[in-house]
Structure 1
Amino acid sequence: MATDCEAWLNANPVEAGNLSDSFPSGDEDSTFTANVNNEINGNWISAPTSTIHEARLKAKVKRRLRKNSSRDSGRGDSLSDNGEAVRSVVPPTSPKGKLLNRRSRTGKGRGLPKKGGAGGKGVWGTPGEVYGEDEVDYKDPNYDAEQENCVYETVVLPLDEEAFEKTVTPIVQEYFEHGDANEVAELLAELNLGSMRGDVPMLAVSLALEAKASHRELTSRLLSELCGRVLTAGDVQASFHKLLKELPDLVLDTPGAPQMLGQFIARAVADSILPKTFLDGYKGRVDCEYARAALDRAAVLLRMSRWTGLRIDSLWGSGGGQRPVTQLIKEVNLLLKEYLLSGDTVEAERCLRELEVPHFHHEFVYEAVIMVLESTGERTLQMLLQLLKCLCSSTIITVDQMRRGFERVYLDMPDISIDVPCAYSILERFVEQSFNAGVIDRKLRDLCPSRGRKRLISEGDGGHLKLQNY
């Protein structure tokens, strides 16, 4: 700025009287118009008095121009043609305008925004301006156009053997509760199974061997559902090969593992997830007796399905909650009849557990009492009483289920007595013996209905019960 002022002064000399800030003194009356070039790098060299006086006038003009340019910048100040500063009329500003004014309040500087606009509010611009597409310099040689098309994905590491068991085992166990194969397929698809994919059927079958028959049925359905979505036919085949090799270890925990594995193989062949030639590959090459037993079991079942029409798809049966009530009643009656023929209490307990209907045990009690009322001998009463006592002692049948079974008999006694005239007397005797054996409590015994007097006891019989052939 100072250099521009000097150039203008050299080209347009002005008189000192016109630029003075005060009234002229005696020393300033005489003026000089000669050009002075005795200033070097801001330092004055020795010169005559007239030259020094003219140099002072120039310095005063410089200060005046600097002061006007810094203080009046942006206010419309300008210089006239003869070099005089002309101030334009500016309306007074409000106090609010002074607060928002970016000009320096100390009187220094040129009044421009600090740092060229940086350092104040909004200096970095709005988020849209900073991160928007307009701010991207596509002409920058360091800019890579492929950055816009980058897709970031989460990398899931493949599971090792320990992590595989900890992750997949809870999924299979929860499946045994809800039975939703689609949910299991979705959860397994989210995992990076890697080389452990072929161990999924092996783990599921191993857990099912120690579970219930309904869980084994669910496992067979799960394998059929996963094949083609999460697993391949090769994965399923490799898993059954490993299971046959590990049968000696599985038998230690589950003695019936060879027969169960044979049924799993037969079911897999029937569901078309194992090739029909799977069994042919083992002919004459099996040294393990457990593996031989499993393969023989599978071969027999497949032969029976082909010759006798055995339905392998229902080999495991269905869970207790999934079977109709009529089918459960038939199975309960069959269980009681087999017990009356064999007298094996342990086998009867095992069969009742395998029904997996703890909420339906009151039907078992009801059918047992009805058999006692319809029987003609003492043997049936004592055997069924012994069975109920064992089931009650082992808590297979709970107190609530036992009570509900007896109460159902009490309510149906009017209809039962039509077919069995002596039903009331037999019921009283059975209820009394059940109370003495600890099968029922006193309250349930007292609820037992009494026999009716109509057509059974006359006034002259002394209150004795008549025989059936009266």
Structure 2
Amino acid sequence: MATDCAAWLNAIPAEAEDLSDSLVSEEEDNTGSVVNKNLKNELNGNWLSSASSSIHEARLKAKAKRRLRKNSSRDSGRGDSFSDNGDVVRGTSVAPASPKSKLLDRKSRLGKGRGLPKKGGAGGKGVWGRSGEVYEQEAVDQKDPNYDEAQENCVYETVVPPLDERDFENTVSPILQEYFEHGDTNEVAELLAELNLGPMRSEVPSLAVSLALEAKASHRELTSRLLADLCGPVLSRGDMEISFDKLLLELPDLVLDTPGAPQLVGQFIAQAVSDQILSKSYIEAYKGRVDCEYTRVSLDRAAVLLRMSMEGLRIDNQWGAGGGQRPVTQLVKEMNLLLKEYILSGDSKEAERCLRDLEVPHFHHEFVYEAIVMVLESKGEKTLEMVLQLLKSLSVSTVITLDQMRRGYERVYMDIAEINIDVPRAYFLLEQFVDRSFSMGVIDVKLRDLCPCRGRKRFISEGDGGVVKAESY
């Protein structure tokens, strides 16, 4: 009996393997062949019970399902199909098709709706709608759970909180410092209008004057102009009076940093009264009520200036305009006066201080140009020596930079032909001055070599036999 079973199992190995690796449907399980029945009851020559056969059958089904899932995920898109008996047939390529055999169909695939395209034909990936489509404002839905009837008539505005005392100086000081550079009062008015100054509005003039006291004379002139332009659009006359009252009270502290603060504040008060941002009775209101010595000096200074203006002396531009604000003709005239005063006095320190007070470091090449032209026109050894000493002193102290010195010399080189019309010996004097400047270290060798020269030798006549004679002056 054992010999017959072994021979029978060896005769059908292929069918056993096929059954272990393929999917067996429920219909084949119910109407299976005799071989399948034998395999269910016998495995490897051993007869199996009904419970063991059912477990083995479940394992075969699970293995077939796992193999089917693995093949379908790995060969998806290759067109795998099943034969009529349930076997997997590979190698047939079937093109994927959309539900209604239409490629790239944008209609709903859920079977709902009227069959129209999504979003009216503009429902592609990453698309918000048709090109050129304008979305209108949606009407308020009163049935919305979040609907609030009190919000329908609300008006939303940007509210700027008022500046407190701690943030006022940090916010306004940069605006005033920047104004000292550009001098545009309209920009300052716009920036202050954007701020909610509140009760700190009257602090703007006092802060501007305090910064101007420590700055240059041109900045004080800009401050007076700023106060005149701010009175009305941004500040009122009441704010101005409160601000100047505070300045008079703070004079003992301001004197510590600026010794001349009482006189300067008095000039600001006189300029404010002249510009009609303070009332004419402002100074009169303090008579008999002043105990501080500095306040008394300031008010006396303002009263004297106003009295002088009534006699015909104008207070306008009492500090003078800044270097960048003055016209070029005025700067040239002041530089000429400075040079003439230096030639008479010989005080190079005073000339240096006056040149610094002009506040035009970008225009110092004009000073060098005017100094050299003065040497060429004077034709004197004394003027040449004094101008050389002055240029050497200004170069060492870096009041005049190397670039400004070079530009001044180059301007003389370019204009020497026109200067020679009025000064016949201009070329000779210029070469002498340039050589002396190089020997004293005022200019370098490159700038010296750029100096133009004119040949001063000529033939006397044809009968002289080509004798060359030096030109005499």
**TM-score, normalized by the shorter chain, greater than 0.5:** yes
Deviation at 1:198, TM superposition (A): 1.0
Contact 2:457 2:471 in 1 (8 A): no
Deviations 1:327-346 (A, max 9, x none): 22111111212222333323
Deviation at 1:143, TM superposition (A): 9.0
- Going from structure 1 to structure 2, the CA distance change for 1:413 and 1:248 (only over 3 Å counts) comes to same
Matching residue of 2:226: 222
Matching residue of 1:275: 279
Matching residue of 2:418: 415
Contact 1:269 1:276 in 2 (8 A): yes
Q: Hey, what's the Cα distance between the residues in 1 that align with 2:425 and 2:281?
A: 63
Deviation at 1:245, TM superposition (A): 2.4
Matching residue of 2:142: 135
Q: Spell out the pairing of 1:281-300 with structure 2 (5 A cutoff).
A: 281-300=285-304
Deviation at 1:395, TM superposition (A): 1.8
Asked if residue 393 in structure 1 is aligned to residue 396 in structure 2, the reply is yes
- Going from structure 1 to structure 2, the CA distance change for 1:230 and 1:365 (only over 3 Å counts) comes to same
Aligned residue identity for 2:326: R
Deviation at 1:284, TM superposition (A): 4.7
2:191 corresponds to which of 187, 194, 198: 187
Asked if residue 165 in structure 1 is aligned to residue 172 in structure 2, the reply is no
Q: Hey, what's the Cα distance between the residues in 2 that align with 1:400 and 1:97?
A: 78
Matching residue of 1:405: 408
- Going from structure 1 to structure 2, the CA distance change for 1:287 and 1:99 (only over 3 Å counts) comes to closer
2:445 corresponds to which of 416, 438, 442: 442
Matching residue of 2:54: none
Deviation at 1:101, TM superposition (A): 6.7
SS state at 2:152 partner: helix
- Going from structure 1 to structure 2, the CA distance change for 1:271 and 1:98 (only over 3 Å counts) comes to closer
Asked if residue 150 in structure 1 is aligned to residue 157 in structure 2, the reply is no
Q: Hey, what's the Cα distance between the residues in 1 that align with 2:371 and 2:109?
A: 103
TM-score, normalisation: structure 1 = 0.64
- Going from structure 1 to structure 2, the CA distance change for 1:277 and 1:375 (only over 3 Å counts) comes to same
Deviation at 1:464, TM superposition (A): 6.5
SS state at 2:320 partner: coil
2:370 corresponds to which of 359, 367, 371: 367
Deviation at 1:156, TM superposition (A): 3.2
Matching residue of 1:241: 245
Aligned residue identity for 2:378: S
Deviation at 1:144, TM superposition (A): 7.5
2:320 corresponds to which of 317, 321, 331: 317
Aligned length: 345
Q: Hey, what's the Cα distance between the residues in 2 that align with 1:278 and 1:259?
A: 17
Comparing 200-209 and 383-392, the one that deviates more:
383-392
Deviations 1:396-426 (A, max 9, x none): 2111111111122222223323333333333
SS state at 1:356 partner: coil
Comparing 336-345 and 400-409, the one that deviates more:
336-345
- Going from structure 1 to structure 2, the CA distance change for 1:98 and 1:360 (only over 3 Å counts) comes to closer
2:268 corresponds to which of 264, 270, 284: 264
Q: Spell out the pairing of 1:20-35 with structure 2 (5 A cutoff).
A: none
Asked if residue 342 in structure 1 is aligned to residue 345 in structure 2, the reply is yes
Q: Hey, what's the Cα distance between the residues in 1 that align with 2:233 and 2:180?
A: 20
Deviation at 1:307, TM superposition (A): 1.3
- Going from structure 1 to structure 2, the CA distance change for 1:297 and 1:430 (only over 3 Å counts) comes to farther
Deviation at 1:455, TM superposition (A): 8.8
TM-score, normalisation: structure 2 = 0.64
Q: Hey, what's the Cα distance between the residues in 2 that align with 1:224 and 1:271?
A: 6
Aligned residue identity for 1:435: F
2:210 corresponds to which of 206, 212, 223: 206
Aligned residue identity for 1:426: L
Asked if residue 429 in structure 1 is aligned to residue 432 in structure 2, the reply is yes
- Going from structure 1 to structure 2, the CA distance change for 1:415 and 1:184 (only over 3 Å counts) comes to closer
Identity across aligned pairs (percent)? 71
Comparing 416-425 and 164-173, the one that deviates more:
416-425
Superposition CA RMSD, Å = 3.6
Comparing 339-348 and 399-408, the one that deviates more:
339-348
Deviation at 1:231, TM superposition (A): 1.3
Unaligned runs of 5+ in 2: 1-99, 101-106, 114-134
2:182 corresponds to which of 159, 178, 181: 178
- Going from structure 1 to structure 2, the CA distance change for 1:251 and 1:350 (only over 3 Å counts) comes to farther
SS state at 1:276 partner: coil
Deviation at 1:236, TM superposition (A): 0.9
Deviation at 1:463, TM superposition (A): 6.3
Aligned residue identity for 2:394: L
Contact 1:457 1:464 in 2 (8 A): no
Contact 1:456 1:465 in 2 (8 A): no
